[in-house]
Amino acid sequence: MGIQSKEAHLRSILKAVSYRLLASIATGSIAYVFTRRLDISLAIASVEAVAKVICYYLHERLWSFIKIGQKDHPLSSLPVNKPLEQKDMEEVRKKLKDLGYISED
């Protein structure tokens, strides 16, 4: 089991945009099948994309506050100023094993 981390705002935004791009292509295609008008289909897909990116982003951020299904690790609240180097990671892993927090080798 790894230490749980929060998802960065930028990651939530990028996920929302990439998903909406794919979904908006589908929406625009469906709108075109019904209307046979490219201008209306593109308008529907565009409005839908912007509205749902905002909804998805807010939904992701709200779920970051919901603890259902999340397991907090006691070390997840420690402030870290920089990424751990490999030698430091090995040292931390050994110490956690010695303290009984992990059982992996």
* pLDDT tens digits, 45-81: 999 988 988 998 899 899 888 888 877 766 777 888 8
Q: Where are the domains of the chain?
A: 9-68+79-99
Q: Is the dihedral of CA 86, 90, 91, 95 positive or negative?
A: positive
Torsion of CA 38, 18, 59, 8, to 10 degrees: -150
Instruction: Flag whether pLDDT at 104 surpasses 80.
Output: no
At residue 28, the pLDDT reads: 96
